[in-house]
């Protein structure tokens, strides 16, 4: 008896190629060095946090502080970071309001960077400059709070686990659907998805983890087809505000859509803008 297996679609083949590209060529140290630091004009030889990243950090702080002021959220939020890469910058302002954070990432080397920092291994990456930027420059707190915040975030990230948005479910079954107040995902979906339909489906999958009345917080490049890290070139799905808003609504995020964007002009990307956006899941 002949059994004819289904041939993969073009989209499925592209997804497999992108998956292999990330596993083989994504270098977390190059990513951190390229995307999170620039030369400090006031202190030659020293690096500072990229101004574009500072803009995002301000938006994340505004999101969590507003969420806290509108509810009894302090120290109670259940947060899922999806596709977090090798960095924890988006969670620094979340830490005071979180009870626990599950951090997920596709590439094993990236998970290793975050887990090494979380458990204070001697050779772990030093994120202190980003903490100082958020706590002192964005939030206006003192140096003592910087060290406290770093330890607080370490304590509240309870696990670092694999994820894959192309799978269903995209996380281990032990991650319970409908149990998170915030799902946070940054510069992930547009690089993981090969079509607008796949992007919309990815948001539907993430929506399953958000409780009714909970939020999604995300950021991505707009009008972008690629970005580079060193010699590696990574393709991106071209999205815009209209695609994002429609996909969010279709995924059940029908309330409190907030969208902020900033023009981009980067050597490592052809993106036209960067956007930070959030929305609330219908109750």
pLDDT of residue 4 exceeding 50, the answer is no
**What mean pLDDT comes out for the span 29-39?**
75
In percent, the amount of the chain with pLDDT more than 90 equals 75
pLDDT of residue 14 exceeding 60, the answer is no
Please give the pLDDT value at position 35. 74
Q: What pTM was computed for the model? A: 0.90
At 119-157, the pLDDT tens digits run 999 999 999 999 999 999 999 999 999 999 999 999 999
Query: With helix as H, strand as E and coil as C, how does the chain read?
Result: CCCCCCCCCHHHHHHHHHHHHHHHHCCHHHHHHHHCCEECCCCCCCEECCHHHHHHHHHHHHHHHHHHHCCCCCCCEEEEECCCCCCCHHHCCCHHHEEEEEEEECCHHHHHHHHHHHCCCCCCCCCHHHHHHHHHHHCCCCHHHHHHHHHHHHHHEEEEEECCCCCCCCCCCCCCCCCEEEEEEECCHHHHCCCHHHHHHHHHHHHCCEEEEEEEEEEEEECCCEEEECCEEEECCCCCHHHHHHHHHHCCCCEEEEEEEEECCCCCECCCEEEEEEEECCC
At 264-283, the pLDDT tens digits run 888 899 999 999 999 999 97
At 88-131, the pLDDT tens digits run 999 999 999 999 999 999 999 999 999 999 999 999 999 999 99
pLDDT of residue 2 exceeding 50, the answer is no
């Amino acid at each position: 008896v002949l059994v004819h297996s289904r041939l993969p679609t073009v989209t499925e083949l592209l997804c497999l190629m992108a998956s292999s590209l990330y596993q083989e060529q994504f270098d977390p140290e190059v990513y951190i060095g390229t995307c999170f630091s620039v030369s400090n004009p006031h202190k030659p030889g020293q690096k500072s946090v990229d101004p574009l990243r500072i803009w995002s950090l301000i938006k994340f702080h505004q999101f969590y502080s507003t969420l806290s002021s509108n509810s009894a959220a302090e120290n109670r939020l259940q947060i899922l970071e999806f596709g977090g890469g090798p960095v924890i910058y988006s969670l620094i302002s979340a830490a005071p309001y979180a009870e626990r954070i599950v951090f997920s990432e596709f590439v094993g080397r990236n998970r290793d960077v975050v887990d090494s920092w979380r458990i204070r291994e001697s050779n772990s990456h030093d994120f202190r400059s980003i903490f100082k930027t958020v706590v002192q420059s964005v939030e206006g707190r003192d140096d003592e709070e910087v060290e406290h915040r770093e330890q607080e975030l370490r304590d509240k990230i309870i696990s670092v686990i694999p994820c894959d948005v192309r799978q269903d479910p995209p996380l281990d079954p032990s991650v319970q659907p409908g149990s998170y107040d915030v799902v946070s995902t940054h510069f992930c979906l547009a690089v993981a998805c090969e079509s607008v339909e796949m992007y919309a489906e990815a948001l539907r999958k993430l929506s399953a983890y958000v409780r009714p009345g909970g939020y999604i917080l995300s950021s991505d490049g707009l009008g972008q087809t690629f970005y580079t890290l060193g010699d590696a070139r990574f393709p991106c799905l071209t999205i815009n505000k209209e695609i994002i808003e429609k996909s969010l609504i279709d995924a059940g995020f029908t309330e409190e859509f907030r969208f902020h964007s900033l023009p981009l002009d980067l050597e490592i990307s052809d993106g036209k803008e960067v956007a930070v956006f959030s929305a609330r899941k219908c109750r």
